Structure 1
């Protein structure tokens, strides 16, 4: 893939930020709600430890707020401005978007957070 080796690839796929060879999550499906935040201890390919310190991912809550606002604004713009719905309908579109995309927002926020502290290392990938 063309984007492999970039932070964008790791953020959107949820792969290891160092080698991008495997998923950081025990279950790749974000809608398996009991496993949505269960993350592997380390990458089995390159050995990168995902929890840099205890409670490392608490910082992703700040990112989650920003990502949630972005999704809410997008839902508003699409429903109110493009589709011409009422304010109440636009509000319901925002609520629906936040409920339906909640697990994706949580994972996306964690992916962004860990990629702020780690970068891809092309030397870790075996050719």
Structure 2
């Protein structure tokens, strides 16, 4: 596993907010039935990923923003690339894009919520397996 001091890069790689090493998800985003599974704790530093029960319900709002952006971008691309086709082309294109990008939207909405509102700060003491004996 790679370690990054950059919080933005660790967020994009979906890594633990505290050590930037442990993965936030147990399976690939391409796994159709298990793309949202997360371990309870970071396998590297032991950070608990769910700060409180029901924490990830807030990710729905971020996911809604991602879905809106996906639909607007898809509509814009269809308009400009296909020169304003019939309405059914817009509806089909937006629906297909939304369904195909749902796993990524859900995973990144959870990741963004955890990084912004999880109350977990990056700690360089957890780099390269040099984790302290105490857990937060």
Q: Which category of TM-score, normalised to the shorter sequence, fits these structures? A: 0.7 to 0.9
Match of 1:26 in 2: 26
Match of 1:53 in 2: 52
Match of 1:11 in 2: 11
Task: Name the TM-score, length of structure 1 as normaliser.
Answer: 0.86
Q: What CA distance in whole angstroms lies between the structure 1 residues aligned with 2:88 and 2:13?
A: 34
Gaps of 5+ in 1: none
Task: Tell me the C-alpha RMSD between the 2 structures.
Answer: 1.9
Q: What CA distance in whole angstroms lies between the structure 1 residues aligned with 2:121 and 2:82?
A: 40
Match of 1:108 in 2: 108
Once the two structures are superposed, residues 19-52 of structure 1 have per-residue CA deviations (whole angstroms, 9 ceiling, x without a partner) of 111211111x112122122111111211111011
| Runs of 4 or more above 6 Å deviation | none
Cα deviation for residue 88 of structure 1 reads 2.6
Gaps of 5+ in 2: 131-136
Higher CA-based Rg: 2
